[in-house]
Structure 1
């Protein structure tokens, strides 16, 4: 009997050893998030299974970058997931940038980030690299710096699709026609083309006057008062033939470089075309007394600055958008600059849908009004009747059209507000009319906060990691062993 118990005990110990050895060789993880944020989407898995060639990803990283960006732990896990789901067609390698010169890394398009940290009471600047190079079908794309995985799945998917299109000669797949005032495209709207190009769109500016608009390409139009009658007629014909388009247009022209005073647009051919299709862009101006942006302005006597709530620059909260629509992927509050209201005519076009509303504390002004930020606009509207206004509308059939009643939303006005999501929203709009819904939805994946807070004291972080490893590698296995031993001895005594 003693030999039997001794044999059982030895088998139990051997089982623990085997489990430990096997678990160290196998890769597995559990995604406990409700939305499965750390699991590749069905769209990405299908994309990986239909690769025409192998994808090679090289992670150029500094040896200590993980200390300053703990969320990079998830990047390593996600890349392993790509490799597992690709059936051998996704190769991942890590390159230590300390073995390369700064010039060599910069030439690859990998950009460093400088982080200030404390080391023995001395401030030290760490120059850190963490960039991805993706190679596929002879093409290369680069993510200059990555510190989390929030947009990783979207970026890799769009890069693969873009590189495939370029290699196969499908240039039109990623091309968008652009109509904008040439005098403003390199100044007020200088962010537009670079933002679209970074999203892998080939931008085709159309020169005025326009006889025809390419029917098979999506169209982006910015502004309206510079468009002549024949060009407006070409746009009208494009829409009648079920062309896909997004319009950033206003009912007023604002003196952006001067007094900020608006003037209604009259005899605007493009606005007439949009009204023919059911989108009436009014010459009023919407303002919101609660959801607005605070501007830093100089005092009248030049003695310092002050913060002013400016109701004509409206922040659009999550409650003000048509949630669930792919165009609002990865939504952060939009800032609308001097927007006009939109009336939609369902009798003329029953497919029209409002997409963005101002808040419940908003109203519209008509005719003569002041937009001077130094005036007390709030006192003037204490007894006003408030009503939300539509400032974005669209249709999904017979073709996709979006109309945003704010041509300043994607201008350099965002420099005042830091609202870079306005530009991301523009990209979303173009991707939406390009029928890239599945790609857009990848932006919605939100990931959990990093497992550790960021520490300036490296010794404190090392101590914390040591204690965590001590618990997981020694105390926890020892506890399991003792528990098993206890159960074994108890069973023996019962017999």
Structure 2
């Protein structure tokens, strides 16, 4: 066995194609992750799933190419080895060579870790999945090669078979198939099976699938070999039949008896102790129904995680039943639409062209005649939070209401159009209210609802009596969130900053919270893209784009109350006067802070400007740098729930500013902070923790924007040049040793 293995490895290393395959594979891994994945753009992420997804793509050509380099099967038929040894040596030798680019690819997660946090458990689990995948892929290619005399002739067939095995689950995207056919293609897809490993989950179904399929392909290859030798011995036939039956049994049983291990540090795919406690409060039958379109299951592997998670969640209490329904049967789709559950439209390509299809992935929870709905779910990131909020409302018969009042002259419908839909999507019923002087026959004053948490957005038009009403609201037991600044910004025109009447800021001083009438700037800031289509003289057009780091839009680093960071807009910092707060019975603590390189800019200074091209890029000599508090909470003595949360930025929740900071997807981080704060005010901080437990920071926060380009060159160079240097060195060493041996 050892001699045969060495012979095959020597054959691979003697062929220049092996080194080319290793080098090209390393280049492709780096290109696909850094360049094609736009790693260094605003959408860049340290999530390694994209990296691991590139490996099966490269293997479609790499594995057949290496397998084709092996000596012809006919040359080995007369060798004095047992039935199992030659095939095993072939598989093992190809895996040995493939281990070179696989090991060298570790440079990519290492390079990514210099820009942000890389979850080690995800990386280790991903490499485990890739190893299992490679064993399966190599076994398939070796089996295919057993039918050919020439490796060159077998290469395209191997590549075609491996591509089909990789992406069988995508066929229903282009050809309409029965549900059983789609399910079968999904179950045999090598790449679809790998998806859970890339997330940090070890699923016994996928492990056993790879093991059983690899074993079957190995067995089939041995059978072909023995048939070429002139027939198998009776003992081998019995051995073959027994092994075949055992592997088929494993494939049949594994989908029904399985376990899943969540290896992530935060246990993001596991059920928390809070959820277990919450489920235990269900004392009557609770029905959980999951309406899932089979089309989604074919296209998105993560949908399986939803089904598995719901099944595991519901198994915690015998009074909870769980069923999965096909919305396309028995008029179910019409019933869902009548219940207010709208489907999502996806685009598919078929034999007759592009078409659009309505799909569903909705969860309903029915308990004692009441129903809660999760209208659409595609993953498990916030599923535990969504379930927890709905079950809490059902089991405790608690209606979650929040009132929202806008006091800066802007509109909730136009200027803050995201706030109400966002809060409703988080399970809150939203009540529109107003400051007393702004109330009408259609909109009540917030003082009419002292037991409902209050959200105030801006207070520049609030009168002194309005501010007194807010103060009394909080002092008398009400709970409030206030996103305010002591100035306003003309965000629709030239971004001119104007000091407001100061009533609200002065009122907050009673609680020991003093808003600074200066703009907090930071070297950790948002990079503006400024585009001009007009020449300086005003004649003709000339497209020109400039990128400006705008210090007055700080970007918060990852922290407890903003796990994914957050972009702020001309924020006002708070100075906490703990002695004054204690006199009123409140303890103060910061919730959000800027970096240690931030500073204050006096808006009354003659040199102050909001123009991004002329705004200061760094603190001046007379501007001390420090970390500033931009959100603070006040907790009443003897209480654990905040009475007041002050957020020094009324524009972070503005629809237009959210659009500024968004890339391909809407930047919801400020809205997440708002909903988390409302949950705190509603004594549901443990529920908010469920949502944030999956908020592993994957942004490129470690490198300042101005240093990103330079560092990016170094990262790409290290992830490309080091592997190439190692491969070239290995080739040179092998050539030198071979020449010495030949002499």
Which band: TM-score by shorter chain? 0.7 to 0.9
Deviation of the 1:316 alpha carbon: 0.8
Partner in structure 2 of residue 388 of structure 1: 627
Assess, with a 3 A threshold, how the Cα gap between structure 1 residues 390 and 143 changes in structure 2: closer, same or farther. Answer: same
The answer (yes or no) to whether the contact 2:366–2:372 under 8 Å persists in 1 is yes
Deviation of the 1:380 alpha carbon: 7.5
Q: Deviations over 1:416-457 (max 9, x none)?
A: 222222112111111111110121111133399xxxxxxxxx
Q: Deviations over 1:166-216 (max 9, x none)?
A: xx4x44xx1223332375222212222222222222223334235946433
Higher relative contact order (CA 8 A, sep 6+): 1
The answer (yes or no) to whether the contact 2:523–2:617 under 8 Å persists in 1 is no
2:385 is the counterpart of 1:151 = no
> Of 135, 141, 159, which aligns to 2:366?
135
Q: Please identify which structure carries the higher helix content.
A: 2
Partner in structure 1 of residue 172 of structure 2: none
Aligned residues: 421
Assess, with a 3 A threshold, how the Cα gap between structure 1 residues 78 and 372 changes in structure 2: closer, same or farther. Answer: same
Give the number of the structure whose alpha-carbon radius of gyration is greater.
2
Assess, with a 3 A threshold, how the Cα gap between structure 1 residues 380 and 336 changes in structure 2: closer, same or farther. Answer: closer
Task: Measure, in 2, the Cα distance between the counterparts of 1:335 and 1:406.
Answer: 10
Q: Please identify which structure carries the higher strand content.
A: 1
TM-score by length of 2: 0.52
The answer for unaligned runs of 5 or more in structure 1 is: 1-8, 449-495
Report the 3-state secondary structure (helix = DSSP H, G, I; strand = E; otherwise coil) of the residue aligned with 1:239. Answer: helix
Q: Deviations over 1:292-316 (max 9, x none)?
A: 2424443553532523322222211
- 1:198-277 aligned within 5 A: 198-207=425-434, 208-209=436-437, 212=447, 214-266=449-501, 268-277=502-511
The answer (yes or no) to whether the contact 2:281–2:395 under 8 Å persists in 1 is no
Partner in structure 1 of residue 267 of structure 2: 36
The answer (yes or no) to whether the contact 2:344–2:358 under 8 Å persists in 1 is yes
Partner in structure 2 of residue 354 of structure 1: 590
Assess, with a 3 A threshold, how the Cα gap between structure 1 residues 31 and 104 changes in structure 2: closer, same or farther. Answer: same
Task: Measure, in 2, the Cα distance between the counterparts of 1:135 and 1:223.
Answer: 39
Partner in structure 2 of residue 365 of structure 1: 601
The answer (yes or no) to whether the contact 1:290–1:311 under 8 Å persists in 2 is yes
The answer (yes or no) to whether the contact 1:82–1:90 under 8 Å persists in 2 is no
- 1:403-414 aligned within 5 A: 403-412=646-655, 413-414=657-658
Task: Measure, in 1, the Cα distance between the counterparts of 2:478 and 2:393.
Answer: 22
The answer for unaligned runs of 5 or more in structure 2 is: 1-238, 438-444, 536-540, 697-743
Task: Measure, in 1, the Cα distance between the counterparts of 2:658 and 2:632.
Answer: 22
Deviation of the 1:37 alpha carbon: 2.7
Deviation of the 1:135 alpha carbon: 2.6
Partner in structure 2 of residue 185 of structure 1: 412
Assess, with a 3 A threshold, how the Cα gap between structure 1 residues 106 and 332 changes in structure 2: closer, same or farther. Answer: farther
Report the 3-state secondary structure (helix = DSSP H, G, I; strand = E; otherwise coil) of the residue aligned with 1:396. Answer: strand
- 1:37-436 aligned within 5 A: 37-97=268-328, 100=331, 106-108=337-339, 109-115=341-347, 128-164=359-395, 168=397, 170-171=398-399, 174-181=400-407, 184-207=411-434, 208-209=436-437, 212=447, 214-266=449-501, 268-298=502-532, 301=535, 303-306=542-545, 307-318=547-558, 321=559, 323=560, 327-328=561-562, 331-350=563-582, 351-366=587-602, 367-368=604-605, 369-373=608-612, 375-378=613-616, 385-398=624-637, 400=642, 401-412=644-655, 413-418=657-662, 419-436=667-684
| CA RMSD between the two structures | 3.3
Partner in structure 1 of residue 224 of structure 2: none
TM-score by length of 1: 0.75
The answer (yes or no) to whether the contact 1:314–1:336 under 8 Å persists in 2 is yes
Deviation of the 1:361 alpha carbon: 3.0
> Which range is displaced more, 399-408 or 130-139?
130-139
Task: Measure, in 1, the Cα distance between the counterparts of 2:342 and 2:414.
Answer: 28
